[in-house]
A = this chain, B = another copy of it.
């Protein structure tokens, strides 16, 4: 179950950026994921930070463009960056659009017949992958954080809200805050979960999950570029998250960043702040 194959390894900031492949049981296909092993791993178990990427990404975008390794090395965090969907499942239509199918798993467990066997990214990220990491790396059990970008920001928020206590902190860059109310989310949820059962949709929407969250205190950090064209298009809906947090009594710091867009240039600029945020909760 936990057999993994090292695909690449590069020394960076005193640690090692690695990419592994493995046969995923949840997804029924071969998957790749990135792992940054910080220099502090030599002296004992370290905390784990999960990163979830956005639409069209593989494990490569984050590890090559986000500038995360300097911060991970400074804090001594192992950083895990999975791919964004199952790959090569030969499902009819899986490669037809950038926002559905390959590269667009939405971090949910599909229920529709055509997708339900493979498109189980929620269970992959919250169950299978943590077990793989625990079995193969020297990590501190129960000292995890999660963050992500866009579709992956949505993923980070729902993983934290659905699993109280599993992640000590959560943050997001330009997350899809309210997928049941935006075009990307409606397309994805309709395809993977079906049009009929809106109660299942709510189980994967941060704004809905906040209504019933009663786990340990969570402090959510979000950065959102004001020059992000997907903000203008109504895909991200940060105001809805702020409103839902206020109603739920969950503290959120929503930083609207002048002129920044949706790119990894934006992400790299504030990556250090997000690591500092997680460090407040992950350090003993």
Binding site for B on A (CB under 8 A): 10-14, 17, 64-65, 67, 69-70, 225, 227, 259-261, 263-266, 268-269
CB pairs A–B below 8 angstroms (11 shown)? A10-B263, A10-B265, A11-B227, A11-B261, A11-B265, A11-B266, A12-B268, A17-B265, A64-B264, A69-B268, A70-B268
Please name all residues of chain B whose beta carbon is closer than 8 Å to the beta carbon of A67 when the two chains form the complex. Answer: 67, 70, 268
- A16 CB to nearest B CB, Å: 8
On chain B, the residues within 8 Å of A65 by CB distance are 64-65
**Inter-chain contact A259/B64, CB cutoff 8 Å:** no
Q: Which 3 A-B pairs have the closest CB atoms?
A: A12-B265, A10-B265, A11-B259
Copies in the assembly, this chain: 2
Q: Closest residue to A63 on the B side, CB-wise?
A: B265
Beta-carbon contact of B12 and A266 below 8 Å: yes
- Chain B residues within 8 Å of A269, by CB: 11-14, 69-70
Provide the residues of chain B in CB contact with A17, threshold 8 Å: 265
- Minimum distance in angstroms from A66 CB to a CB of chain B: 9
A154 CB to nearest B CB, Å = 23
Q: A266 contacts which chain B residues (CB < 8 A)?
A: 10-12
Report the minimal beta-carbon distance from A256 to chain B, rounded to whole angstroms.
13
Cα A265 to Cα B14 in complex, Å, equals: 10
Complex-state Cα separation, A238 to B70, whole angstroms: 27
Chain B residue numbers with a CB within 8 Å of A260 are: 11
Which residues does chain B contribute within 8 Å of A268, judged by CB atoms? 12-13, 67, 69-70
Separation of A69 and B266 alpha carbons in the complex (Å): 11
